[in-house]
């Protein structure tokens, strides 16, 4: 018989309410990479506040530092200056407390694990019991419409399914915050539309805070509550655009004048940030 008491790992976010205050607060963050060709200013004096439950997209040309910013929030990069707070903690504490799930550009599934095994990976590391792991994996598979694919290996799945599995993996331990780095960048338009809708539904259901890096203007406008427009050399924020469509929005809103107006503002912001000097 399984004992009734299941030892909960030391993560808040699972069950306990998150602390008050903004989910993420970026204050005057600069980040310089030392490369062989000299220093590269990836981020310069970035300020940003993300409230709980928001869906914030980061958009900008290559080299604008949007991925670097996301990685800095995740404590995968260390800012040279400035401060980042995640759930009121510094980024290392937040990472050690497993405050966020990270979805990378490529699914980064471990090829020797089945889909279910991949989703269970963070749970194994965080010390969940076998019974709870199985339950959460099942829930995760259902959440991303992959029920019945648990025993498949990653190579047996399409690119879109792999990326869905990686989203289920990031959500399996129920973090408050979801950091997504161009998760649908490598997928075709149709699959992308479908996954955008699924992601929106998921966000609506779970109420998580999402930070989402993208190259696509329609994707950003369709998904977000706020769009952060960034520009390169040095990487900085040039505009933050509110985007208040209802949470249960459908793909059709992309034809509305409001949608097009916001998309246009994003486009103008991007254009202003681009320098076309040769």
Partner 1 sequence: MAVPVKSILPIVTVVLAVLAIWYAAAALMNAPLQRDMYANAGRSDYSTQDLIVASLNMERPKLPGPHQVVAEMVKSIVATAPSSKRSLVYHGLITLEETLIGFVIGAALGIGLAMVIVSVRWLDSSLTPWLVASQTIPIIALAPMIVVILSQFNITGVAPKAAIAAYLSFFPITVGMVKGFRSPEPLQLDLMRTYSASSMQTFGKLRAPASAPYFFASMKIGAAAALVGAIVAEVTKSEDGGLGARLLAGSYYGQTVQIWAALFAAAALSAALVGLIGLVERLAGRRMGFAR
Which residues of this protein are in contact with partner 1, per CB under 8 A?
74-76, 95-98, 100-102, 104-106, 108, 110-114, 121-122, 124-126, 153-155
For 12, the token pair is 């808040």
Beta carbon nearer to partner 1, 121 or 191: 121
Please report how close the Cβ of residue 76 comes to partner 1 at its closest, in angstroms.
Answer: 6
Please report how close the Cβ of residue 256 comes to partner 1 at its closest, in angstroms.
Answer: 37
> Could you give the CA distance from residue 199 to residue 205 in angstroms, rounded to a whole number?
10
Please report how close the Cβ of residue 117 comes to partner 1 at its closest, in angstroms.
Answer: 9
Residue 136 Cα distances to 125, 139, 178, angstroms: 14, 5, 17
Ramachandran bin of 184, using left for φ above 0, alpha for ψ from -120 to 50, beta for the remaining angles: alpha
Name residue, tokens 């202003």. 272
Beta carbon nearer to partner 1, 75 or 219: 75
Beta carbon nearer to partner 1, 13 or 273: 13
> Could you give the CA distance from residue 232 to residue 136 in angstroms, rounded to a whole number?
40
Please report how close the Cβ of residue 273 comes to partner 1 at its closest, in angstroms.
Answer: 27
Beta carbon nearer to partner 1, 93 or 134: 93
- Using DSSP bridges, classify how beta strands 226-231 and 81-86 pair: parallel, antiparallel or unpaired: unpaired
Please report how close the Cβ of residue 173 comes to partner 1 at its closest, in angstroms.
Answer: 8
| Cα angle 110-113-114, degrees, rounded to a multiple of 5 | 120
> Could you give the CA distance from residue 263 to residue 257 in angstroms, rounded to a whole number?
10
Beta carbon nearer to partner 1, 30 or 114: 114
For 192, the token pair is 């992308």
Please report how close the Cβ of residue 218 comes to partner 1 at its closest, in angstroms.
Answer: 27
Beta carbon nearer to partner 1, 180 or 217: 180
């Amino acid at each position: 018989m399984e004992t009734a008491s299941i030892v909960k790992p030391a993560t808040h976010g699972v069950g306990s309410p998150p602390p008050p205050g903004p989910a993420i607060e970026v204050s005057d963050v600069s980040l310089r990479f030392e490369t062989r060709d000299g220093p590269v200013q990836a981020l310069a004096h970035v300020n940003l506040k993300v409230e709980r439950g928001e869906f914030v997209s980061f958009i900008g040309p290559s080299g604008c530092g949007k991925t670097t910013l996301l990685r800095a929030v995740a404590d995968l990069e260390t800012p040279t200056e400035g401060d980042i707070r995640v759930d009121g903690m510094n980024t290392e504490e937040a990472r050690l407390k497993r405050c966020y799930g990270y979805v990378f550009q490529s699914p980064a599934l471990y090829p020797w694990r089945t889909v279910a095994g991949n989703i269970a990976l963070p749970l194994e590391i965080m010390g969940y019991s076998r019974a709870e792991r199985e339950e959460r994996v099942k829930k995760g598979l259902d959440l991303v419409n992959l029920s019945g694919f648990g025993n498949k290996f990653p190579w047996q799945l399409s690119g879109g399914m792999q990326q869905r599995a990686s989203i289920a993996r990031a959500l399996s331990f129920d973090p408050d915050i979801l950091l997504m780095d161009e998760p649908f960048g490598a997928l075709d338009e149709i699959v992308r539309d479908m996954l955008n809708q699924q992601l929106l539904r998921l966000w609506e259901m779970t109420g998580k805070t999402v930070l989402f890096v993208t190259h696509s203007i329609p994707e950003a406008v369709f998904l977000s509550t706020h769009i952060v427009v960034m520009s390169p050399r040095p990487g900085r924020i040039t505009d933050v655009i509110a985007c208040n469509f209802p949470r249960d929005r459908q793909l059709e809103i992309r034809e509305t004048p409001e949608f097009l107006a916001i998309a246009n503002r994003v486009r103008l912001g991007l254009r202003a940030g681009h320098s076309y000097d040769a």
